[in-house]
Amino acid sequence: MPLFKKRTVGKPGEWYYCLEHKKVEEGPECPAKDRFGPYASRQEAEHAMESARERNLQWENDPKWHDAPAGEQRGD
């Protein structure tokens, strides 16, 4: 068991969205694997999941990311 726990030090004014606790935090409180960010404002961090959903939808519908020729489905 380690004697010292490594703590991530955050900067004031950087906002993150914690995926595990479903909350906004100023400066990272949780490990990087459990958070989105940094965001410039609290409001941006509050909408992190919406922004991710929108970006995912854009990527899924971007023809540059589809390698299958027209008329064929990927994964077949």
Q: Does the pLDDT of residue 7 top 80, yes or no?
A: no
- Mean pLDDT across the chain, nearest whole number? 83
> 23 pairs with which residues across the strands?
18
Helices (H), 6-68: 42-46, 48-60
Q: Does the pLDDT of residue 51 top 90, yes or no?
A: yes
pTM of the model: 0.67
> In which band, very low, low, confident or very high, does the pLDDT at 25 lie, cut at 50, 70 and 90?
very high
- Extents of the domains making up the chain: 15-61
What is the distance between the alpha carbons of residues 4 and 13, in angstroms, rounded to a whole number?
Answer: 27
Residues 7-12, mean pLDDT to the nearest whole number: 63
